Amino acid sequence: MILSCSNIAKAFNEKSILKDVSFHIEDYDKAAIVGINGAGKTTLLRIIVGEQSADEGIVTLSKGKTLGYLAQNEAVNSENTIYDEFLSVKADIIELEKQIRETELSMKNADEETLSRLMETYNRLTNAFELANGYAYKSELVGVLKGLGFSEEEFQKSVSTLSGGQKTRVALGKLLLLQPDLIILDEPTNHLDLHSIAWLETYLLNYKGAVLIVSHDRYFLDKIANKIIEIDQTKATVFSGNYSDYAVKKEQLRVAALNAYLNQQQEIKHQEAVIEKLRSFNREKSIKRAESREKLLDKMDRIEKPTTVRSDIHMTLTPHCTSGNDVLFVEGLAKSFGSNHLFENLSMDIKRGEHVAIIGDNGTGKTTILKIINGLLDADGGKITLGTNVHIGYYDQEHHVLHQEKSLFDEISDAYPTLTNTEIRNTLAAFLFTGDDVFKLVRDLSGGERGRVSLAKLMLSESNFLILDEPTNHLDIMSKEILENALNAYEGTVLYVSHDRYFINRTASRILDLTNQTLISYLGNYDYYLEKKEELEQKLLGTPTIAAAKPETVSENKLDWQAQKELQAKQRKRENDLRKCEEEITALEERDAFLDEEMALPENATNVARLQEITKEKEEIASKLEVLYEKWETLETS
């Protein structure tokens, strides 16, 4: 074991964020922490690395083990070049190399006694250099640089001139090169393109140490995680397997907990009905049975109603009108920024109802395409034609559709003046803005909050052609799933840019890969895209593709049908027996009541023979009823 967290608790302003959180990380674990925004994931990481103190609990890092931490959006500020900044991580190896070179020079003119001493020093230094992988450190450094998306032309760029995302990539690369026993990463894929994410997946999978990650990238978690730590309502639950395994188990547990609760509620209602029925029989034994059942019911451990799947964000996207079949036609599109030629002669054709994802490396011009289509940028060449009755709804990752100086309430009311105050508040509440939150200024919101406001405006737009730029950025997993469901139910047309492969897999019907300044179309989701790319590589390599034979599966339909028929027959028999039993009880109780009336008649009061007959019949009825009551109780509870 490399890390242990035991009973960690943390509260802010008396609001509990974490409580009794316990888990451990083994030496080669690839673990992920998941949970909704605000669940306490980043807080937990800060407690683990010592940036924050826990109110209760203990964090233990095994003796002699090292830990490296990359916070979300952590950037490097330096006047070094990118290459030199990476090189600074290998300062110890560089110093060893320098000492080896100096020792080699000293050995040239040394006398025999000094040479012997220098040889010992040289052997010690070269052994240490070899153990530190000194002979391969430069190739390792270049591999990480290229893997994280830096071209050789960028190696000599000053770090100070880089964007925030690029500086974060530098920080990530430096951490990977340090090779601690435990790497802790908070949202490491935020500023990586698809190729860099794939490279990072492979790197972390083959990493000889342990990895602990906070991420909303479900595809990434599927690839690398062997353990999922879920933070939900201050508690931690550990699941073995990747994200998909966790999602299945989580749903199974949720369904099982809900079923257990519903079954118990049904049993409680059933027992209450049985008790009421037993009391209605108004017999001493029946009343005692009713009292006995009441005592058992009081002692029952009541199951609390489990929390249901979060439904506090309600997204319904409804086109105001139907567009023509031809939605967008782009021909010969070209764009350059100075000497940076993004693309030329770019073409695409999008039909009504298509959900199209544009993918590609960072800097290839994906967002630029969307901006040109929306009229926010001028193209250098080419033609864009919108179809009949096409109304665009645009979501951009910089949220230019929002006005920084406005409040959330004014942002919605100014855009949609026909909405009532209640309708505006209800819309904002659907995206988690309640009470005085609606009077917050847009400029004071976090990135995730701005994203939710933009989505709220998009929901109200009633557009039939949605153009989305990185719509899942800053959304937690559950919010992503809600957006995915809304888009899948949307009857209009969607064109979006995203590096969220799980999101693409669930929502795209076609993928446009922007590569080598052109768009390559794949008619399918992300998995289909990967499959076709692999097929192309196999053809180029000349290796035949052998279709794996599908194992035959035995259909269980017949067995299921037979079992169902038997169950239905058994249920019908029980219902018939119960009905007959109740009819017999009713007939006997009516006969018993009639005999009571007979005994009360004046002409029978002095008729001893008749009274004996009535008494004997009442005893027989009582005996039969006793048997029938037991039979009814058995049938009712079976």
pLDDT tens profile 501-516: 999 999 999 999 998 8
Least confident residue range of 34-43, 122-131, 434-443, 598-607:
598-607
Query: Distance between CA atoms of 498 and 396, rounded to whole angstroms?
Result: 11
The partner residues of 466 in beta bridges, in order of sequence, read 393, 494
Which top CATH class is 74-178? alpha beta
Classify 155 as helix, strand or coil. Answer: coil
Checking if the pLDDT of 553 tops 70, the result is: no
Instruction: Decide: 144 and 174 in contact? Cβ < 8 Å.
Output: no
Predicted local distance difference test score (pLDDT) of residue 536: 54
pLDDT average, residue stretch 170-184: 94
Return the ∠ at Cα 346 (arms to 390 and 378), rounded to 5°: 65
Least confident residue range of 72-76, 149-153, 373-377, 524-528:
72-76
Tokens of 519: 């768009």
Greater confidence (339 vs 386) lies with 386
Query: Distance between CA atoms of 211 and 329, rounded to whole angstroms?
Result: 46
Classify 632 as helix, strand or coil. Answer: helix
Predicted local distance difference test score (pLDDT) of residue 274: 87
Instruction: Decide: 500 and 480 in contact? Cβ < 8 Å.
Output: yes
Calculate what percentage of the chain has a pLDDT beyond 70.
93
Query: Distance between CA atoms of 602 and 594, rounded to whole angstroms?
Result: 15
Predicted local distance difference test score (pLDDT) of residue 309: 52
Q: Which residues contact 121 (CB under 8 A, 6 or more apart)?
A: 103
Q: What is the pTM of this model?
A: 0.69
The full set of domain ranges for the chain reads 1-66+180-241, 74-178, 248-299, 326-391+462-541, 571-637
pLDDT digits 0-9 by tens, 14-58: 889 999 999 999 999 999 999 887 789 999 999 999 999 999 999
Predicted local distance difference test score (pLDDT) of residue 317: 74
Same fold, 1-66+180-241 and 74-178: yes
Give the closest residue to 243 by CA, choosing from 404, 32, 55.
32
pLDDT digits 0-9 by tens, 276-289: 888 888 888 888 88
Fold of 326-391+462-541: Rossmann fold (3.40.50)
Give the closest residue to 466 by CA, choosing from 318, 313, 315, 314.
318
Fold of 1-66+180-241: Rossmann fold (3.40.50)
Instruction: Decide: 395 and 495 in contact? Cβ < 8 Å.
Output: no
Instruction: Decide: 194 and 533 in contact? Cβ < 8 Å.
Output: no
- The average confidence (pLDDT) of the chain is 86
What pLDDT band is residue 307 in, cutting at 50, 70 and 90?
A: low
Predicted local distance difference test score (pLDDT) of residue 540: 40
